[in-house]
Structures are given as structure tokens and as C-alpha cells.
A and B are shown apart, each in its own frame.
Chain A
Amino acid sequence: MRILVSAAVAAATMSLGLTAQQTPTQKKPALAQSHPVAQRATPAPTGLSDDAQNQLVKTYCVGCHSEKGRAGGLSLASFDASKVVEHADVSEKMIRKLRAGMMPPPQARRPDADTIKAFYETLENKIDVSAALNPNPGWRPFQRLNRAEYQRALKDLLGLDVDVTAYLPPDTVSTGFDNVADEQNFSPALLEGYLRAASQISRLAIGDRNASPTSATFKIGRFGSQMRQIEGAPVGTRGGISVVHVFPADGDYVIKTSFHYEPLGGLFGRYSMLTMDISEQLEVSINGERVALLEIKPSMSETDQQNGTNGLELKTPPIHIKAGPQRVTAAFIQKLEGPVDDLVAPLENTLADVDVQFGITALPHMRDMTILGPSHVTGVSETVSRQKIFTCRPTNDREEETCAKSILTRLTNQAYRGEATADDLQDAMEFYQKGRKTGDFENGVRMALQSILVSPRFLFRMESGPSTGSGQARVANASATYKVSDQELASRLSFFLWASAPDAELIKAATSGALRTPAGLEKQVKRMIADPRSDALSTRFASQWFRLQDLDKIHPDVLLYPQYDDRLAEAMQKETELFIDSLVRDDKSVLEMLTADYSFVNERLAKHYGIPNVTGAEFRKVQMPPYRRGILGQGSILTLTSVADRTSPVLRGKWVLEVLFGTPPPPPPPDVPTLDESTKSEQGGLRLSTRQRMEEHRKNMPCASCHRVIDPLGLALDNFDVTGAWRIKDNEVPVDVVGQLYDGTKMDGPLGLQAALLKHQDMILRSFTENLMTYALGRRVEYSDMPTVRSIIHDASKHDNHWSSYILGIVNSPAFRMMKPETTKDVVAADDRSR
């Protein structure tokens, strides 16, 4: 059937050649190559006739989708096969459900599979042909740097890791992503945040000789074990905290720590110290080197308040620390090692109950660390950021101006993504002079940097409209599409692949015109994927697509799952990120995310999964047990789709439908309790498994119609408990994972589910492409983008669905390289907002 589409498109391409050439400003050959739809060409027969289509809809659909019935809010009563393209929004809805095999519904009368296939392919064909004639790259307003992009751009520009959540309000999420342009609103709080960030960050980057003492506190949550060495801490320590803190100046700093306590204020862990005669010590180190060793006394108590100090706090003497980012660690000296024979089984969630303190799982735990200072400032030493900024040093007054100019030329050009103008430099120089007047040369540069960091040229990713544009001629015709400029394309690329600004090489490639050729573009894309910064595709794209941030919000019941704590949750998140990262870097098939028999674990996670012979905090690639395949065998997804005290087949099924299939189930009717909330775990003295509780409920007919689809997907995973650990019993009843996919495919546990999902791999690939496109474009994917989506999948499937073929497919698509002028509606919407 693909053949059919291709033939028509080939014909369309020929006529497209004509039409497009009439528009003199479009570079025809480049466009044709950049639009993969146009590349297909194979002869084929035609699809279903209009009459046949109308008849099908009338016979099988209109019964429910009538004007009156409007099942799912859709009426097909006036369906007309000759108007499929005009009503592409409706047609795409039909295609989606038909391709998923969800319509007509499982119990209803339906035509044979070949007819359904012929029908939706005819619909697709019509729409794709029309789209090839009239590509619609879509439109969105300009994007601003969101929190993550701002942070990463700063890191690239200044070599500084700053926690921007302290400055900027959270980003609004749309369809799962935090970079959707039309959801990026302005508010006084946002501007105020930008100003505060620029002021503070410029001082941290340059160093601040006049820094007055302030405090920075790092809290340690209550849900994390402190019995093992943590990341960044020296060997031979346990627990505590290790952070990279940016010090404003060389000077004396005091590190203050406090500890978790019992309900009445005494040090948590004191009984263990007393009964087992353990003396606990806390080591404070800077960049791994010990600077203080603090004795912890079991008599410490928060009720002890002398001279304004808190009895549960310990302070170091003043320590001289140099400016710039330094790793500060406060951790306990590990005093005990070896097999544990304790009164209570050792827990991972060691602070689950601070009333319970027996044996060595109840040693003191740190609560927070505060860095106070500086006092006795002696100057500002060299730091990474200073080296990045001060590319020259004036030796006398006369050289200052020239040097400032050279520094600011580089900074503006990088910060403004290769588009800095003479005006921009002039503006920065004026701020330099202002700062120089009230301070020294460095203060001048700092002041200029402060202005750069708050400039709209840095914060907003402006793309000039169709009628303007420097150098490159653009289409003036209001209904025609236009290409984004080379520099704009470079920015689009780098924010897509790196979530940050372009580097010097990419800017150079854009300036030289190299991005205009497919080969030049591909070269840059391949280089960028190989760069460490492409971790954004896993930590930003995949983690948002999979909703990994929800993992933070799940706290499994501490009594039922004492082995779960924040450290384990962190490891789970990292596992999934490393796993996706490896798929991207090794350019594996996208589908391998469901089938891979390997993953990445550290000791903690290996123990949780029952994988032997993994020690230490580093992650490594391992062979997974046969029942753990791909992301649906990973703790992260399994936990974030659970509730505190039991698994939720509904949430897991919903996750599969929403995330993997891109077909979210309809909302439940308003007057019923959430399906799995209301049956008890015991009935008539019998214990019920989660499955039995669900089935109890599915007897309820209005629920059954949807939950017949949702639940079996989740139940197939019920061998994984709330924390993703393997189990064979649930509430002391054997787990039963047998079920049916809505299309009748038998599923027997995770492997059965995998096979059933792969039967619908076209849906998974479509959902993947839609999500990757949403993230890449910074706008929601609309029905009018579906021809592009199909074309990308079609081409990628010829390359075994490799990640790079999807990335290149998107990068080469008109949606990525072109824009359609905004419609009046867009302008009105924007006008409305600004009033």
C-alpha cells in the first residue's frame, strides 16, 4: 500500500516542481531534497473509490458516530470521501484509530483487515499527495530559553553550573514538554528572575572581591539512605552530601552541618553509638582533600541552645577556599564494613522512622550543609569562567578599552548565537564603561556581562519574519512558506540536539553556507550527536516523553517497601537516561527501547534487580534477566506508574497507551470513583490481589468498555511490584499476568506484552516521531503535520529505524527548516495576550 502513496506522490512531485519554480525566491533543488516525501517514486494502482469509502463509513461507523450519538465527540454522518483533504483534521482522527485497530470497537461488526487497511491508506494517500503539493511547515511564536536551556547555555558560555531554579519560575508544560513556544508566557516574575540571575551569575563568573558574607544551604532529603558512599564523596566515607559550589572570592568560609533528630530533639543514631560504642566523625573536604574532621557526640540535641547555636549543628573553623566552582563534601567516616547481622533487617530507607534506632542501620544522618562566607577576602583566583572570559589582560590603562572590546566581541557573538551586530557590541561597551566608572576593569566587563545575560538577543530565540531577513531573499507572498536563515537553522539544530546554543564550529558552518547542503547538514548533525551535549536527547527529550520527572512524586510506602529510597530512585532515573543515551550514540533502532536485553546499573540498582557481581557506585552495561526487556523492565517507568502501596495496572496501561501508542484513553465519567481505588484488599476474609480487585470492578459495565483496553496492558506487568522489583505473589496471592490486548493478542507477562506491542510498532514509531518533533520544533504537532510524520517514518523504516534517521528526517523536514507566515488568528492571539 505504501507503493500506492509513493506513486501519487511522485506524480505530485513533478507538478510541485513546476509550482515551486514559479516562486523565484525558493531554492528549488535544496527544497526538493529536503522534503523526503518528494523522494519516493514507484508506480502503483489506485486505492478505494470514493463510493466504496462512503459506503464503508456509512455501514460501520455512522451507527455510533452519528449527528446525535457523536461517540467520542465525533460525527461522521456527513463524511464525504471527496472532501477528505478539506477535513484532514477528522480524517487524521480516523486514520489514528483505524491504524491502532481500535475502531470499529472490538465487539462491533467490522470489515476485514485488508479493507480497513485499504481504507486508511487511501485516506493517508489523499492527504499526503495534497500536502506534497502544498507543504505546510506550520508556525509558532519565538521561543525563549527555558530553565534547562538557560542553564546549559550558561555552562557553555561561562563554564559555570548554576542552579537556575533559584531564579526562574517553572516552565509551563504542554503535551509533555517544557519548551513549547506558545505556552511560554511573560510575567513580571520572569523578568525579575532574569534580572536577578544576570546580576548574581555575572558576579559568580567574574568573582567578587567585595562579596559580603551570605549563606547557601544544601538540604538532604529524608528519603535517602546515608549508609553508603555517595557520588562525589571520598572513598571510605558514607552518606552526607557532596556539591559543587561556586565561591565568589578567595576567602574564609565556615561549613556548618546539622543532623537528623529523634522526635524529642536528640541526635538520631545516638543509641547505636552508645550501645555499640561507635564514635562517629564527619569529614569536610574541598575537592577531595580533608579540611576538617568533626566529632559527633551522642549527647547532641536540638534542645541544647547555647549562645544562639543549635546543639545539633557542627561548624568547621574558618577554611580558606579559592574562588570559583569547588567540590565541597561533608560525609561520615565509614567505621563499619562487612556483613550485617542486625536486630532489624537493614533497611535502605534508613530514616523511615526516626523513632526506631537499633543497630548499625541507625547511625547519625546529616540533615543539611550550609556554606557561610566569605570573610577575610584575599582576592579572586583564576577560575574556569575567568579563563573563558578574560581572553586578554590589560597591562596598562590604554590597553583596557581594546581588551574589553575583544572580550565583549567574543561574548556577544557566542551569547547571541552568531548573530551579534555592531549595535550589540556598542551596547555592551557602554555597560563596560558604566561599570568601569564605578569600579575596576573587571567590574566593567562584569557589568557588560550582566547586560548580555538579560538581553533579549540572548534570552529569546528570535527568527525574522518572511518579509525581512538580511541578505537572504525570502518569500513575500503572505500564503507562501519561507526558509529560516542559516544562523536560525543552526540555533534550531543546537537547541534540538543539545538544548543549548550553537558552538563556534556550528556557527562557522552556518556562516559558510555549509548547512544548505544535505551532506553539510548531516555532517553537523552526526558531529553534534557524537558530542557529550547530545545527552539532552535522553535527559531532556526522552525523560520528558517518558515522564521521568514524576518519579520524584512517588513515595512508596516505607513499611511495605523499606528498600526504596531516593538513592534508588536516582539510580532508576539514571538507568533510563543512560539507556536511551546509548541507543542514540550507538545509533540503534528506536524499537530497541522495548527489546534491548541489556541496561545500565550500579550496585544499588543491580541488587534491586537481583543482578549479581556489580559493585560500586558507577553505572555499567549489563545483561538483564530474561523478563526485563527495554524500558518496560526498568524501575523508573514501573515505579512512576504505581501508587504508594500497590501497583496500578490502570496507570501502567494508561502510560503505555498515552506515551507509547499516542492514543490516550478517554477520561472516566465524572460520577465513578477511580477504578482501582474502591475495592478493598480483603473481601469476605479472602485476600485479593490487585488483579482480583480490578476484575471485581470491571464487572461494572460502563467502566468495562475502556478498562478492557487499559488494564490488560498494566496487568501484564504485574510481576513487577511498586518499585519495579520482581515478584510472584501480590498480597499473598500468586500474580496472574495473562490477558488480551484489545485486538485479541494474548499477552502472558512482560515478554508477551512486548510481542503484542511490537505488533503495533507503527503506532509506537508514530508516537515517537510526534513527540520528537514536538520537542524539536517547540510546538505541538498538529494534524497538518501528519504527512511529514508518515514520510519520516517511511524513510527511517528503510534504515532499520535508526535514531539518526529520525533525527535527520526531522531536521530535513519542511517543518524544521521552514515557516509558514503567521495567520491572522495567530496575530490576534498574540495581540490579545499583550492587550
Chain B
Amino acid sequence: MFITNKQLSRRTVLKGMGVTVALPFLEAMTPARSAFGAVGTGKKIRVVAIEMVHGSAGSTAFGIKKNMWAPAAAGREFDLASTSLVSLQPYREYVTVVSNTDVRNAEAFTAPEIGGDHFRSSAVFLTQMHPKQTQGSDVRAGTSIDQMYAQKFGQDTAIPSMQLCIENVDAAGGCSYGYSCTYTDSISWAAPDKPLPMIRDPRVVFDQLFGVGATPQERAERRTEDRSILDWLGTATARMQKNLGAADRARLTDYLEEIREIERRIQKVEARNSSGEPRELPEAPIGVPDSFSEHVKIMFDLQALAFASDVTRVFAFKLGRDASNRVYPESGFNGAFHSSSHHGEREERIADFKKINDYHVSLVPYFLEKLKNTPDADGSNLLENSLVLYGSPMGDSNVHNHKRCPLFIAGHAGGRIKGGLHIHAADGTPMANSMLAMAHALGFDDMQSFGDSTAAMDLNSAAATPVATDSKA
């Protein structure tokens, strides 16, 4: 895809012209196999859950008619040309489009919840649970699918999972209607009452993944210091507990768990390093880029790099923030995101809104290419062994509904998802059905339900009706 727009970033233009430019971090990051080959054997599935807010043009009545998100044909013979997914065409054999599913738990259940869709949806996306309307410490949604996977299968790596975002999440007055900001800010929930913070600065992501220090020796020294501090911190924190009330004591117990978790991570890194892998790392990135696409790309770079070096296997990646009015000049349309999403169901405005959807999806192939070009330990490549899901917990954003929400999967999840398929779910199918099926594909063979799921979807056949739970995908 080549968009003509004078505010296009120079990099894109140069690519279009076939000129190469030195891009220090990006170039350096494509790892040589010798330096980064993943350790061990057996398939290790990498999971990336990407959320975009505000639904899609293809979820409107007009957009469905015009196939703006879902292709016209279900099955294997689908045509992406009219859809926002057109940029995925080169990877269609890796792509499973799941259309026509609903995120019912993002709807309002009671009168005071009406209108608060923007401030509740993100918490629903990966949990498929209905968030409790509260501003207090009693926030409650569900455990998100990325965290379930990280908790069960992510413990072999130094960092079980990471949470990244693009937009600033501290907009004042950006969350209201009685909802804690945390519902808007995070898509990753370690437990129903434990949202995880999302990191926006690529430099911080890098430092967390690989540690601070210019040389392996420096990084090792700092790890040793941190270990001795953590050791003491456990005792010092426990010592403080005795003077506190019960609730504060419980809070500190929580903190003690974080201390043990960081200790565990350091041990993992040291165990790994003692096996003698050379660790040549690219230069650390330099803060948050101005451009949306550059920011997204560098975050994708870091995810691919983390997978290649097996520091972590799970990412949650939040591309937008509800009610954000960011403008994406590179989409070829200059309207603000939130305003444009309230298109009043007018055809020409829906078409404009679709340009933003197209643009967001068009950033994904960059990541898929990186994954495909990175060999994995089992001889295949990272895309083969990944499950990348991309979607939105909203459908038609103009009316704040959560029906016919956008969703697709990329990657073969180690062979359990075949790809090259468009599944058009029966009307009223919960999106949770597809997530239950993804959980099955990720090794949660016995999981009976997820969120408001009614059955697991068969991700490898285009049957219009969902199959029963007991016949696993």
C-alpha cells in the first residue's frame, strides 16, 4: 500500500522509492541466528494481543454491506481488497479473520453504566468480563488471556509478559462516568482486580528487557547489586509490616510478592547467561518517537527482538486510548480519531473513518515480516510459532455498540491454527468463543469457558455455527 500524502514520513517515502537509509536501531536489531537462537527444544508459542479502540468502519451497517472489515466470502476464498485488512494480503496464509462476534460484556448492564462505553471497553477486550463500575480500589474485571498464558507458560523466561502502549495514558478527565482510569489504561489483567501498567517509552521497554548497562559485564554487576538489595528488601519490608493495620499489611504482602518476582527474573537471566550465549544487543532506542507509525514500529521491533532472544513470550500491546482525538496524517485522512468515529452513519464519513482503520492495520505486516524472517529453535520461524491477535472491543463506535467487532489472528500458533481462513460467526456469537478457542490452541486444553463464551469456536473451519465445547479445535 502506498499512500500519497505530503505529511508522509520520510522513511516511508524512501522505501517507496527503493532508497535505503541507515536506521540504526532497526537495522541492528535483526538478529543473527548465532547470537539469538532460542534455547531449548519443543514449540514455544509467542503471544501478542493487540488492541485498537473505537471499533471499525466495517462494523457499521454500511460498512458491512461494503465489506469494510469482513470480506464478502467466508472460508478460504476471501477477497481482502475492499477491507481494512487489505495490507495483510501478503500474509493471508497466516491470517484468520474472525468476523461478526460480539463483546457483550462491554455493554451497559445497568442505567448508570449507559454512556460509559469508552471507559470500560478496554478492560473487557482480553478478559471478556464485565468491569465493575467503581472508582475505588475495588476494581474488578477478569484475568486477561495474555496473563493466563503468561502465568502458565511464561515462567520459563526471565519476564513472563510485558505490556506496551502507544498513547499517553494519563489524560485527565479522560475517564469518567464512575469508572476508574485503570479500566481505560490497561488491557492486561493479572487477576480480576490486578490491572498491569502499560509502558509507552521504547527505551524503558529495552532497559526492562535487557537490563541497564553498556556492556554485559556492567549489566551483570548491576544485577548482582539488585540481587543483594532485593534480598534485604524482603526482610526490611516484612519488618515494617508489624506496625501497620491489617489492610496496609496486606498491601505490603502484595509488594513482597513483587520482590520475589523480580528476584526470580534475575535468577532466570543469570541462569540463561551462564549457559554462555553471546549477547550482542543493538543500541537502545531513544525515547518516544513523534510519529505514530515510527512509535508502533519500534515497539514491534522490540517485541520481535524479545521473542528472538527468548526474554519473554507474551506481549499485550495497546495501540490507542478510548476517546483519543489523535490525528493520523499518514492515513491520508486528517480527521481526529474519536470525532471521526462518531460518523453519524453517513457513508462518506464512514469511508473516511475506514482510512484510519486501514492505516492502523497496515502497520501490522511490518511485524509479521519480522517474525517470519526470524528463525525459531524448532527450525521454523517465529510467525509459525506465534499467535498475534488484533481487534477492538467496540463495534460501531458511532453508537458505542459492541457488536460485530473487528478481530483477526495472525500466525499459526505452532500449527494449531491453520490460517488462510475467514470465519463469519453466526449472529450473536460472543468474541469470547474465539478466545476460548485461542486458549485451547495455546495449550489450555481443559478450559471450559472464557468470559461469556458459550462454546469454543472452530478456528480451522469456516462453519457458520460454533462447535460444541467438548469437541476441541
Contact = CB atoms under 8 A, between A and B. Distances in A.
B22 interface: yes
A469 B244 CA distance: 9
B18 to A, nearest CB: 12
Nearest to A554: B325
A174 B399 CA distance: 27
Contacts of B261: 188, 191
Contacts of B163: 189
B25 to A, nearest CB: 12
A417 interface: no
A30 interface: no
Interface in B166-207: 168-177, 180-182, 185, 191, 193-201, 203-204, 207
A638 to B, nearest CB: 16
A263 B8 contact: yes
Q: Interface range on chain A: under 10, 10 to 19, 20 to 34, or 35 or more? A: 35 or more
A186 B344 contact: no
A165 interface: yes
Given A450-B225, A667-B115, A667-B177, A427 B232 contact: yes
A142 B248 contact: yes
Interface stretch (B32-40, B79-87, B252-260): B252-260
A165 B203 CA distance: 11
Contact of A186 (B174, B185, B254): B254
A160 to B, nearest CB: 17
Interface string B254-274: 110111011001000000000
A832 B339 CA distance: 39
A547 B172 contact: yes
A553 B343 CA distance: 22
Contact of B233 (A212, A454, A552, A677): A454
A462 B248 contact: yes
A542 B201 CA distance: 27
Nearest to A169: B197
Contacts of B251: 141-142, 186, 830, 833-834
A353 B5 CA distance: 12
Given A183-B182, A827-B247, A555 B327 contact: yes
B21 interface: yes
Given A173-B181, A265-B14, A302-B21, A182 B214 contact: no
A643 B336 CA distance: 9
Contacts of A176: 172-173
A674 B342 contact: yes
Contact of B196 (A189, A219, A456, A658): A189
Interface stretch (B41-49, B131-139, B446-454): B131-139
Given A212-B218, A833-B193, A189 B199 contact: yes
A187 B258 contact: yes
A430 B235 CA distance: 14
Given A186-B258, A189-B199, A212 B214 contact: yes
Interface string B322-338: 00110100000000100
A263 B181 CA distance: 39
A491 interface: no
A835 B199 CA distance: 25
Interface in B395-451: 398-401
B1 interface: no
Contacts of B255: 186, 191, 456
A464 interface: yes
A185 B195 contact: yes
A550 B287 contact: no
Interface stretch (B60-68, B106-114, B382-390, B460-468): B106-114
B19 A667 contact: no
B339 A830 contact: no
A664 B174 CA distance: 13
A570 interface: no
Interface stretch (A108-116, A193-201, A500-508, A733-741): A193-201
A45 interface: no
A185 to B, nearest CB: 7
A173 B250 contact: no
A673 B114 CA distance: 14
Contact of B212 (A199, A217, A353, A821): A199
A670 B114 contact: yes
Interface in A55-89: 70, 73
A456 B229 contact: no
Contact of B137 (A434, A462, A833): A833
A468 B243 contact: yes
A173 B172 contact: yes
Contacts of B230: 195
Contacts of B6: 263, 353, 355
Contact of B170 (A173, A192, A454, A829): A173
A658 B173 contact: yes
Contacts of A550: 171-174
B435 to A, nearest CB: 23
Interface string A438-476: 000000000100110011110010101110110000000
Nearest to B235: A427
A667 B116 CA distance: 7
Contacts of B151: none
Interface stretch (A303-311, A594-602, A713-721, A762-770): A303-311
Contacts of B8: 263
A465 B261 CA distance: 28
B203 A166 contact: yes
Nearest to A545: B172
Nearest to A167: B204
Contacts of B400: 670-671
B222 A199 contact: yes
A73 B133 CA distance: 14
A729 to B, nearest CB: 23
Interface string B100-141: 000000001001101111000000000000000001111000
Contacts of B380: none
B252 A456 contact: yes
A473 to B, nearest CB: 15
Given A456-B252, A826-B247, A830-B137, A669 B14 contact: no
Interface string A122-151: 000000000000000000011000000000
A544 interface: yes
Contact of A674 (B169, B171, B245, B339): B339
Contacts of A39: none
B228 A200 contact: no
A725 B6 CA distance: 29
Contact of A199 (B226, B257, B399): B226
Contacts of B7: 353
Interface of B: 6-8, 10, 13-14, 19, 21-22, 108, 111-112, 114-117, 135-138, 163, 168-177, 180-182, 185, 191, 193-201, 203-204, 207-208, 212-215, 218, 222, 225-226, 228-230, 232-233, 236-237, 239-240, 242-248, 250-255, 257-259, 261-262, 265, 283, 286-287, 290, 324-325, 327, 336, 339, 342-344, 398-401
Given A199-B212, A833-B137, 17 more contacts: A70-B111, A142-B251, A175-B135, A187-B196, A188-B261, A189-B163, A192-B262, A212-B213, A212-B214, A214-B214, A460-B240, A466-B245, A544-B172, A644-B327, A673-B343, A677-B344, A833-B250
Which 7 residue pairs of A and B lie closest in terms of their CB atoms, listed nearest first? A667-B115, A834-B254, A465-B245, A182-B137, A217-B286, A169-B197, A830-B247
17 contacts: A73-B111, A166-B204, A176-B173, A186-B258, A188-B262, A196-B212, A199-B226, A264-B10, A303-B19, A466-B245, A469-B243, A666-B115, A670-B115, A780-B135, A822-B245, A830-B254, A833-B251
Interface of A: 70, 73, 141-142, 165-167, 169-176, 178, 182-183, 185-193, 195-196, 198-200, 212-215, 217, 219, 221-222, 261, 263-265, 302-303, 305, 308, 310, 353, 355, 368, 370, 423, 427, 430-431, 434, 447, 450-451, 454-457, 460, 462, 464-466, 468-469, 544, 547, 549-550, 552-553, 555, 643-644, 658, 664, 666-671, 673-674, 677-678, 780, 821-822, 826-827, 829-835
